[in-house]
Structure 1
Amino acid sequence: MSNLARKIQKEYQYEPQRKTSQGLKPKKDKQSWLTPGEKILGVFFGAIVCFGAVQMVSAQASIYEVNKDIQTIETNINEQKKVNNDLKMQVSELSTYERIWEKARELGLKLNENNVKVVQD
């Protein structure tokens, strides 16, 4: 019986406390650890950081595009240099004295050593 009496006594003690705690609550002011000015400065600073990050990324993207264009142009230049060198080799092969003399003979020209004149500078 003593346990039952204690249970009833505990329930009786808790009920009035619940009523008082539910009925009257003293209002506590929520004090933020940041003032409104600090919040504005924080938002402003965050916006500046985000803007700077976007600017850096866009600058890197444009640099990447320019570098890609430079690499493409350099590749084209190297290919054109190879073509030019090949053409120079063909010119040098086709302009040899023996070849010119052979072509002249095919066209009916004859070498007359008495008719050769030396030109001096």
Structure 2
Amino acid sequence: MAAEEIRKYSMIPERKTQQTPSPKKQRFVKKAWFTKGEKLLYTSGLVIIAISMIFVVQYSSNVDSVNRDLQKVNSNIEQVKTENNALHAEVKEMSKPSRILAEAEKHGLTIKNANVKQASQTN
């Protein structure tokens, strides 16, 4: 104890025993670029975009097939119209009185009265 009292009065600075902190293992925590919530939002957004892209491609494929079918139907309609026009022209050609008289004479029919008239057409 006496040594302590002497040290109080002397100019010699008191030795302080410093406790050196034991080196703690520092953990380097890598900061994530995205939080869990952001990852969830981005993932769900990407899934929604992918699904919508699939629907768009499927819809355009269906529209394309319907357009092809429509073109086929239109070409069939045009073909039938041309056939109908050809048949109407053939009907007009065959309904001429001179042709009818020629066919009648070919089959042995004779005209007793000279007044031959064409009946009016009803369409």
Q: What is the TM-score with the length of structure 1 in the denominator?
A: 0.68
C-alpha separation in 2, matches of 1:115 and 1:40:
97
1:47 aligns with 2:51: no
Consecutive unaligned residues in structure 2, runs of 5 or more? 1-23, 117-123
Structure 1 equivalent of residue 84 of structure 2: 84
**Cα distance, 1:52 vs. partner?**
0.1
SS, match of residue 76 in structure 1: helix
C-alpha separation in 2, matches of 1:38 and 1:59:
31
**Cα distance, 1:114 vs. partner?**
8.1
Q: What is the TM-score with the length of structure 2 in the denominator?
A: 0.67
Q: Which structure would you say has the larger Rg?
A: 2
Aligned length: 96
C-alpha separation in 1, matches of 2:115 and 2:78:
48
Which contiguous aligned blocks of 4+ residues in structure 1 show a shift greater than 6 angstroms? none
Structure 2 equivalent of residue 99 of structure 1: 99
Higher helix share: 1
Where relative contact order (Cα < 8 A, 6+ residues apart) is larger, the structure is: 2
Task: From the superposition, tell whether residues 77 and 38 of structure 1 become closer, same or farther in structure 2 (CA, over 3 Å).
Answer: same
C-alpha separation in 2, matches of 1:49 and 1:95:
68
